[in-house]
Amino acid sequence: MEAEDDTAGTIIDEDEICINGGNDAQSSQRHRPIISGEQLDVEAYAALYTGRTKVTRLLFIAEKCGVPSMQLEALRMAYDEIKKGENTQLFRDVLAKIAGRLGPNYGPDNAWADAVDRRAELRREKLENELNAYRTNLIKESIRMGYNDFGDFYYLHGQLGEAFKNYVRTRDYCTTSKHIVHMCLNAILVSIEMGQFTHVTSYVSKAEQSQDALDPVTIAKLRCAAGLAHLEGKKYKLAARKFLETGPELGNSYTEVIAPQDIATYGSLCALATFDRAELKSKVIDNVNFRNFLELVPEIRELINDFHTSHYASCLEYLGNLKANLLLDIHLHDHVETLYEQIRSKAIIQYTLPFVSVDLNMMANAFNSSVTGLEKELAGLITNDQIQARIDSHNKILYARHADQRNGTFQRVLQTGSEFDQEVRAMLLRANLIKHEYSLKSSRKH
């Protein structure tokens, strides 16, 4: 970590107390407004997505938000979106959740549901007849397309298990690398919807083996999918790397799974929780490609810069304001508490690292926390060997247990001197051997 590097070449007197509190004048000059914890704009949020994920995200918000007005807004938008598709079962589920609270315009529509079901039955029979004909004729490409059409049909109607089976069946009839990649992307899409992230990882790996068929947009999609799988598996560092490697070519081409704003948010939070300062600088802040995503979410960009420049109170305030909305994210909600805890612990560790002693009152002020609460956090980190220090509870000072740097420096000087002495002796020996032509005489005897 950079903090360690900064102190490596400096001898610190243990009698000296270094106070880590910053300059109040500089802090006041740097003051700028912090984002407010405004309620999520459901309409703007939903506009970032397309397809089935738009509906599932709206239903998730309705279930988790706890705000009646937001819940009804999300259910209203979900109702409208479902009516554009053909998933009658999902329509009935939303009706049950609305429970007549949105008036007659958002009530049962049996005529629409019956018409959709009739069309679906006719479509299914047609696809079945076509596929049987293709099997009889043994036309590989037609059979592949037939299973693919069946997969699309079942996905459209919300039968995800059947959709997955039919997409995977196309594998035996793929004749090019592009066909394999197409099959993998379909399997990944359905697996994400079903929450089967082991399948996601498997099909990402399969797709990546067909390097000749991968264009930049497809590579970006695969990295997003891999990032989501690692996030679900709580492998936050691996998730961060995948999101950070996602190219800007992705644009809005994968909104049926993820929005560009999500890539910035997921990647940044996972990076803050797991990267050291050097990695944060090189892989996030200086990452030109990822900067395109960060520009879409200024709050995330600012909190990363605050963390890197050690303005922890501002960084944690940003995180606090974002928390309520992050808990409404369908992929991130289970990980918010863990990520926040890891980010805060890292901030505390980095704050204390370069100093022999820290005034807990000033540190509590820097973290916008109480001294008692901060003391408990520090005690936990010390117990877990994440901070090498001891706490003076009476005087409210944290003393670092640094190695004896004077003694260490003295030992390094002695070792360097000994090595230099050996090298000089060896050099003099070689010079004397050459001077007396020892090697020449030795060769003449032979």
User: What is the predicted pLDDT for the residue at 36?
Assistant: 38
In a domain, 339, yes or no: no
How confident is the model over 64-73, as pLDDT tens digits?
998 899 999 9
How confident is the model over 84-95, as pLDDT tens digits?
999 999 999 999
The answer to whether residues 204 and 229 touch, using CB atoms and an 8 Å cutoff, is yes
Show Cβ contacts of residue 36 under 8 Å, excluding neighbours closer than 6 positions. Answer: 321
Show Cβ contacts of residue 414 under 8 Å, excluding neighbours closer than 6 positions. Answer: none
Residue 276's pLDDT band (cuts 50, 70, 90) = confident
Q: Characterize 119-143 residue by residue with b for buried, 16 or more Cβ atoms within 10 angstroms of its Cβ, and e for exposed.
A: ebeeeeeebeebbeebeeeeeeeeb
| Percent of the chain predicted with pLDDT > 70 | 87
Q: Helix, strand or coil for residue 398?
A: strand
User: What is the predicted pLDDT for the residue at 9?
Assistant: 36
How confident is the model over 219-238, as pLDDT tens digits?
999 999 999 999 999 999 99
In a domain, 74, yes or no: yes
362's tokens: 């000033």
Q: Helix, strand or coil for residue 235?
A: coil
242's tokens: 């995948």
Bigger pLDDT: 406 vs 332: 332
Asked if pLDDT for residue 392 goes beyond 90, the answer is no
Residue 385's pLDDT band (cuts 50, 70, 90) = confident
The answer to whether residues 174 and 144 touch, using CB atoms and an 8 Å cutoff, is yes
Asked if pLDDT for residue 52 goes beyond 60, the answer is yes
In a domain, 49, yes or no: yes
Q: How many domains does the chain have?
A: 2
Asked if pLDDT for residue 187 goes beyond 90, the answer is yes
User: What is the predicted pLDDT for the residue at 13?
Assistant: 38
Asked if pLDDT for residue 281 goes beyond 60, the answer is yes
In a domain, 77, yes or no: yes
Residue that finishes a domain, picked among 108, 140, 160: 108
Asked if pLDDT for residue 443 goes beyond 80, the answer is no
What's the whole-number mean pLDDT along residues 345-355? Answer: 79
Asked if pLDDT for residue 80 goes beyond 90, the answer is yes
Residue 75's pLDDT band (cuts 50, 70, 90) = very high
User: What is the predicted pLDDT for the residue at 406?
Assistant: 64
How confident is the model over 32-49, as pLDDT tens digits?
333 334 678 899 999 999
CB atoms within 10 A of CB 80: 15
The structure's pTM equals 0.77
Residue that finishes a domain, picked among 82, 108, 134: 108
CB atoms within 10 A of CB 283: 17
In a domain, 206, yes or no: no
Mean pLDDT, all residues of the chain: 84
User: What is the predicted pLDDT for the residue at 217?
Assistant: 94
Asked if pLDDT for residue 4 goes beyond 60, the answer is no
User: What is the predicted pLDDT for the residue at 18?
Assistant: 39
Residue that finishes a domain, picked among 59, 89, 108: 108
Residue 440's pLDDT band (cuts 50, 70, 90) = low
Asked if pLDDT for residue 446 goes beyond 80, the answer is no
In a domain, 433, yes or no: yes
| Percent of the chain predicted with pLDDT > 90 | 55
Bigger pLDDT: 11 vs 407: 407
How confident is the model over 314-338, as pLDDT tens digits?
888 889 899 999 999 999 999 999 9
In a domain, 81, yes or no: yes
In a domain, 97, yes or no: yes
User: What is the predicted pLDDT for the residue at 91?
Assistant: 94
Q: Which domain holds residue 94?
A: 39-108
Residue 310, sorted as left (phi over 0), alpha (psi -120 to 50) or beta, turns out to be left
User: What is the predicted pLDDT for the residue at 3?
Assistant: 41
Asked if pLDDT for residue 356 goes beyond 60, the answer is yes
